[in-house]
Amino acid sequence: MTDNNKMHLLGFVQHGVMNHASTMWAHPRDKVGYHWSRPEYWRDLGRTMERGLFDAMFIADELAPYTTYKGNSDPVVKFAGQCPVHEPASVVPIVGAFTKHLGIGITLSTSFVPPYMMARQLSTLDHLTGGRVGWNIVTSYSKSEFQAMGKENLTPRDKRYEVVEEYMQLLYQLWDSWDDDAIVYDRENGVFADPAKVREVDFQGEFFTSKGRHFVAPSPQKRPVLWQAGSSEQGRDFAAKHAESVFGIFPTPKSMRAYADDIRTRASDAGRDPESVKLIYGLQTIIDRDKSRANDRYAEFVEKVQIESALGILSGHTGFDFSTLGLDDNVVDADVQGIRGLFDAILEAKDGAPVTVREAAQIYGVSMGAPVAVGTPSDVADQMEQYVDEGGCNGFMMLATDVPGCFTDMTELLVPELQRRGRFRTRYPGTTLRESLQEY
């Protein structure tokens, strides 16, 4: 078995009562003995993932309640449809303090944080975790976010990537502005650093200006690991140019492979080694030693989905108000202003066959359109091998169901099966997130 066939695993969660499975917060197995807003929950969740040798805990985010569905946020408030959601970066020092190897990836929007402050925050967190921070680069797409932030107009989708491209160029200059030998720590003469080796950045762009030295000493990774989830044409170009890891949700091996081939071609065109861009696809698992019990648990899980909650989230993510359609109407292609990839995942959920709004809600409410693997550890490992071998991905973003139990099942049941097959690591390769991601 070659290293290229080994998988990366990341735990996909959110700093809220709900993760990415609609109404799972109401399940009797969810967060037993924990409260999602308390440090103990995050401490033990991180420890469980590290015991399973996960690359990272990946924390998604949303900055305000969704208001696209029916023009208000009542449905998401009523059913906890990714509401409330607490700030993700606050969790990083907690998870970092109680783990030694697990990376922590956080979603932070470029739309509302000045580049200088973003560089400072991420460098600080990388120090606090000993080099285990990753950043999911997003540009805000939700009308509710812009309204909550006191901004009336969304940045047009075709303009977003022009803005974030310049944003990244400024960040790179800041992160790279301290030479490796800039800090001398000369106690005898009282000299901390050589000013000649700490360059002042003087950036004058179309969208951003900044003049000053980066206010944080070089962190262990110097730059955080960069994640992106580009699905539109501009998004794919951006991901191929900047991302060390790309996250996507695709319902079939065919759609997985098409995306993998496209991103790797674009990365090569951008002058990068295409194999250096790790493709991590969303996957949800229901695992039990007994297959029939796993199927029963999945059926119970599906029954929990509240259609209105799922449609509130789906509408918020895509920017399309699904209340304008009947539940038995077919979903048709639309020029959505939100997350294009998630809308496409619904259109492709039945491999090209029509999908009704009701079916879309059920699919999205369970796994946001990601495939679901149900069964014994062997059954689930078989499906994962198919996605790696036929879909061309490097690993999986494991969507949470009942937490922390689902990650305990992955760690205690699935990981040993993957290791037995030579498909997963048996130890961490180093101390930083970048080392784990680039191991194979």
Domains, in order of start, for the chain: 8-438 (3.20.20.30)
The answer to whether 108 and 138 are in contact (CB under 8 A) is yes
Task: Give pLDDT tens digits for 248-258.
Answer: 999 999 999 99
Ranking 204-218, 351-365, 406-420 by mean pLDDT, the lowest is: 351-365
pLDDT of residue 412: 98
Is 107 labeled as ligand-binding? yes
The answer to whether 235 and 157 are in contact (CB under 8 A) is no
Is 276 labeled as ligand-binding? no
Task: Give pLDDT tens digits for 263-313.
Answer: 999 999 999 999 999 999 999 999 999 999 999 999 998 988 998 999 999
Ranking 40-49, 77-86, 99-108, 323-332 by mean pLDDT, the lowest is: 323-332
Which residues, 6 or more positions from 152, have their beta carbon under 8 angstroms from its beta carbon? 146
Q: What is the mean pLDDT of residues 323-337?
A: 81
Q: What is the mean pLDDT of residues 232-241?
A: 93
Residue 200 burial (C-beta neighbours within 10 Å; 0-12, 13-18, 19+): exposed
Asked if pLDDT for residue 150 goes beyond 60, the answer is yes
Is 30 labeled as ligand-binding? no
Is 329 labeled as ligand-binding? no
Per cent of the chain over pLDDT 90 is: 78
Task: Give pLDDT tens digits for 369-395.
Answer: 899 999 999 999 999 999 999 999 999
Is 255 labeled as ligand-binding? no
pLDDT bucket at 1, cuts 50 / 70 / 90: very low
Which residues, 6 or more positions from 382, have their beta carbon under 8 angstroms from its beta carbon? none
Please provide the average confidence, as pLDDT, over all residues in the chain: 93
pLDDT of residue 208: 97
